[in-house]
Chain A
Amino acid sequence: MSDWIEVGSVEDIPKLGARVVKTAEGDIGIFRTNDDRIFALRDSCPHQGGPLSQGIVHDHKVTCPLHNWNIELETGEAVAPDEGCAATYPVKVENGTVYLSLSS
């Protein structure tokens, strides 16, 4: 079962941007796309651990700020031809409030 944790409101995250949730197991990036979908990824690029939350968000992807890998927000998968995967976390939005679950 999931333990949903309230992390803030959708409005706290800029469109096409991200914010970080700090947890005991490390940082988690919470991303907001232009169509107001919210995604959560471990804030560590599968390439060399770059902070994905600091990248540029476009469509449902984020470009890592260190070496420009593109990561799918939905699955955490690197866009081909790069290979690798960032862990994803369940998120849900209810009445404009974002909830995160740490059971990845």
Chain B
Amino acid sequence: MKEKLVLIGNGMAGVRTLEELLKLDPAMYDITVFGEEPYGNYNRILLSPVLAGEKTIDDIMLNDLQWYEDNGITLHTGEKVVKIDRRARKLITDKGREESYDRLLLATGSHPIILPVPGNDLDGVISFRDIKDVDAMLEAAKKYKHAVVIGGGLLGLEAANGLKLQGMHVSVVHLMDTLMERQLDPVSGGMLKQSLEERGLNFLMGASTEAILGEGHVRGVRFKGGLEVAADLVVMAVGIRPNIDLARDAGLHCERGVVVNDTLQTFDPRIYAVGECVQHRGQTYGLVAPLFEQAKVAANHLAKLGIARYEGSVTSTKLKVTGIDLFSAGDFMGDDSTEEIVMQDAARGVYKKIVLRDNKIQGSVLYGDTVDGAWYFQLMRDGTDVSDIRDSLLLGQHHLGDAGHGGTNLAASMADDAEVCGCNGVCKGDIVKAITEEGLFTLDEVRAHTKASASCGSCTGLVEQILAHTLGSDYSEAPSAKPLCKCTEHTHDEVRAAIREQKLTSIRQVIDTLEWHTPDGCAACRPALNYYLIAAWPGEAQDDPQSRFINERAHANIQKDGTYSVVPRMWGGLTNPKELRAIADVVEKYDVPEMKVTGGQRIDLFGVKKEDLPAIWSDLNAAGMVSGHAYGKSLRTVKTCVGKSWCRFGTQDSTGLGVKLEKLTWGSWMPHKFKIAVSGCPRNCAEATIKDFGVVCVDSGYELHVGGNGGIKVRVTDLLGKVETEEEVMEYCAAFTQLYREEAHYLERTAPWVERVGLSHIQQHVMESDENRKALADRFKESQKYAQIDPWAEHAQKAELRKEFEPLKQVG
């Protein structure tokens, strides 16, 4: 018989945990859910837009009754659990029902705090927590005129805004002098107050409520000092208190919330708890992002995978009042040990403040322009050193240039029919529709349903923004260390460290040692692991062809009709009659339908049948040509200009140097494709400043440029430094390449990598320390010993490898 799992609390955290659990193992438990509210699971956050008339209750349902049925879950709505009997492992409801459990999940949320003042139980005094409250407010707005909202925090302001839009006259009462003082500093709080006043809200600041007046129905509110204000509706939004009633009565250890450990277990190991009702490492949370993180971990343990840990969350806040942009995260006030960078533009209504300690972001407040909130939040969570970008930090990520990977905040302004994902032809409208209709929350879900960003991934940033923009930032999962793929919880960096430190040399070892959830990994992690292994242990780790994308397995680019292209290497773009004749010969001999000169200064043969590949390679080999690796996450080409040998402007032998660099680097496997160019003078005909590694020759030596790319979003290189001799260029190139090979994540090009780790980090390793540079260059040369084998010759010669290209059998 299956074990019984019972969930108490049919709210956002509890049901999210069930969803995560069903994803991991849909059949593990017999699941029963009790919910005091008489509905399926709905999106509590969106009660504010419902109150404001921007959404309906139907719009905010997350899981309707059908969902529970489809997943074999028994749901009892409108039924409150009143007692847990831990010894007998059963619980009792207000309808007298008894239910036994093997595991119990508590997700009882919180209670709104009701001020202990006379009159707090009058008719017309309500809180703002559930559908019932919103119904009461909408009802009141039809009948009455005057509303008082007590509490100038997030919830109070959203309530006030909604009531105002429903036509009421609204006063907000706040005990402090700054609105949302837990999220805003006095300047931004003041700006917020001003724009809400312009929308017709009244404020009573520094006012302490003494009594609520009226007999039967509320009629007004009195404050200390005697001031009275008329009211037919009073909304208390002064805070929340974790709902621990049941847990405490059952003898579970509680402080402010139900105390849980890093696996979300309470002091009774059969009982888990998630959501606003829990206290973890002394913290309670009142926003969904941390609750969703908890849900993931709790589900992992309920599914008995037992590897995830919850280590607490850093949260950020946005206010959901249409037309007001406000963002706050971390320590935004600062202290003696911090510095502030501030920008204020009163005319535009924009204010930005970033608090730094030792050049790391501690917190930020943004008002009026919050486009970069997510970016600052990410920098803060990652603890990124921002010294390199300090000057332009407040101008935003867009200003930095993002190499087509971060994406600027276009999401808001894009038209619905604007194409987002060029690979799969997905428009913004398709994505928004999938998010709202299918109830999607995560990038992975959007990928699965729409295919947007599922292919080349270059639109990932944009898709994430559309997700955030459509759902309100509340959902965009707090940026966290992303796991390598769905097969594991470990990040790229953790996996690489394990491979190095535990000397793992095969994919099977990694999958076993790091406890992958899937038997053989997937098409996303296997190629990454294969690369990490051969990069860490050249010569020792066996390359696994079955874990390479077909292009690298077949050493040719698969085309859309299933044929392949062949690109022989032309060193530095140089060629000669013998090579050209050999190319012409194979084109005729094998009926190759098309040839083209590529942007990488060589010739591409298109439309080749897979089974002809080995023969073509062997003919090209015979003329001295080798694979150009135009198909690989590897060095592609070294593009050169004619340079000093012919050009009147040339300062150095750019072509010769290019050939040397290509001889140095060819065959090397990389996290992503890698292109080099050498220009003979600053006119830069070889476009060296949009390459991964570019050399621009000058009279006095060689400028080294790194981290550029062409493509959808051009990124110009950063200047790494200048050297004087060709030998130095070679050594610095080897060192830079090796640093990239060792540090970048698989499928991360140099441009986003340079932006992630910062140019100064790279300069430290490659320019400033001779010792480091030599060590890097040596490691590169060592790994090249094993990599510089022409795969074409190898395949043409070894029958075993040729099998890949031959049919197993021809039938009929």
On whether the beta carbons of A23 and B451 are closer than 8 Å, the reply is no
B43 within 8 Å of A by Cβ?
Answer: no
A57 (CB) vs chain B CBs: closest residue: B546
On whether the beta carbons of A58 and B455 are closer than 8 Å, the reply is no
A93 within 8 Å of B by Cβ?
Answer: no
A54 within 8 Å of B by Cβ?
Answer: yes
User: Which A residues, 9 to 63, have Cβ-Cβ distances below 8 Å to chain B?
Assistant: 12-17, 19-24, 27, 30, 33-34, 48-51, 54-59, 63
Total A-B pairs in contact (CB under 8 Å)? Answer: 92
Q: Which of B258-266, B279-287, B802-810 contacts A (4 or more CB under 8 A)?
A: B802-810
Across the interface, A81 reaches (CB within 8 A) one of B448, B526, B808, namely B448
CA separation between A8 and B807, bound complex, in Å? 10
Q: Which of B515-523, B617-625, B683-691 contacts A (4 or more CB under 8 A)?
A: B515-523
Kindly provide the distance from the CB of A49 to the nearest chain B CB, expressed in whole angstroms. Answer: 8
- Given A50-B562, A67-B454, is A56 in contact with B809 using a C-beta cutoff of 8 Å? no
Interface size of A in residues (CB-CB distance below 8 Å): 38
On whether the beta carbons of A58 and B518 are closer than 8 Å, the reply is yes
List residues of chain A with CB within 8 A of the CB of B558.
Answer: 51, 54, 65-66
On whether the beta carbons of A34 and B562 are closer than 8 Å, the reply is no
Kindly provide the distance from the CB of B124 to the nearest chain A CB, expressed in whole angstroms. Answer: 47
Across the interface, B808 reaches (CB within 8 A) one of A16, A19, A68, namely A19
CA separation between A59 and B520, bound complex, in Å? 6
On whether the beta carbons of B455 and A22 are closer than 8 Å, the reply is no
Kindly provide the distance from the CB of A85 to the nearest chain B CB, expressed in whole angstroms. Answer: 18
- Given A16-B546, A54-B554, A56-B547, is A68 in contact with B523 using a C-beta cutoff of 8 Å? yes
On whether the beta carbons of B455 and A34 are closer than 8 Å, the reply is no
CA separation between A81 and B545, bound complex, in Å? 29
CA separation between A24 and B201, bound complex, in Å? 77
On whether the beta carbons of B455 and A68 are closer than 8 Å, the reply is yes
On whether the beta carbons of B455 and A67 are closer than 8 Å, the reply is yes
On whether the beta carbons of A14 and B810 are closer than 8 Å, the reply is no
User: Which B residues, 420 to 434, have Cβ-Cβ distances below 8 Å to chain A?
Assistant: 423-424
B225 within 8 Å of A by Cβ?
Answer: no
Kindly provide the distance from the CB of A47 to the nearest chain B CB, expressed in whole angstroms. Answer: 9
B553 (CB) vs chain A CBs: closest residue: A54
CA separation between A48 and B560, bound complex, in Å? 9
On whether the beta carbons of B451 and A67 are closer than 8 Å, the reply is yes
Kindly provide the distance from the CB of A29 to the nearest chain B CB, expressed in whole angstroms. Answer: 9
List residues of chain A with CB within 8 A of the CB of B521.
Answer: 58
Chain B positions within 8 Å of A, measured between CB atoms, are: 423-424, 448-449, 451, 454-455, 518-523, 526-527, 545-547, 549-550, 553-554, 558, 560, 562, 803, 807-812
The 19 listed contacts between A and B (C-beta, < 8 Å) are A12-B803, A14-B545, A14-B546, A16-B547, A19-B807, A23-B812, A24-B811, A24-B812, A33-B520, A34-B520, A54-B562, A57-B546, A58-B518, A58-B519, A63-B523, A65-B550, A66-B560, A67-B454, A81-B449
- Besides A65-B550, A66-B558, 20 other CB < 8 A contacts? A7-B808, A7-B809, A14-B545, A21-B808, A22-B811, A24-B812, A27-B807, A33-B520, A34-B520, A50-B562, A54-B562, A56-B546, A57-B520, A57-B546, A66-B560, A67-B424, A67-B451, A68-B454, A68-B455, A100-B811
